[in-house]
Amino acid sequence: MTLFIRKKHLRTLMTLLDVEAEEGNEDARDCFEYLNKKIIQYQKISKKRERKKYLKSKESL
């Protein structure tokens, strides 16, 4: 499943999940950890894409 969400809404969601997790909600903790892993994966993919675009633009010059 793919979900598109704005950064500011994602930050709000992560903050709410973190607060719930600190209060002892295990489901919120699991969701927070899962989303955090996905964000890190996305950032790595995004960096690779930016690097490829940079190298292509550099080659074309």
H helices within the chain, ranges in order? 7-22, 26-60
Q: Is the pTM of this model over 0.75?
A: no
Q: Would the pLDDT of 30 be above 90?
A: yes
Residues 6+ apart with CB under 8 A from 35: 10, 13, 14, 17
Please check whether residue 28 is in contact with residue 17, taking contact to mean a CB–CB distance below 8 angstroms: yes
What pLDDT does 26 receive? 95
What does the domain layout of the chain look like in residue ranges?
8-60
What secondary structure letter does DSSP report for 2? Answer: -
Residues 6+ apart with CB under 8 A from 21: 28, 29, 32
Mean pLDDT of the chain: 89
Share of the chain above pLDDT 90, in %: 46
Q: In whole angstroms, how large is the CA radius of gyration of the chain?
A: 16
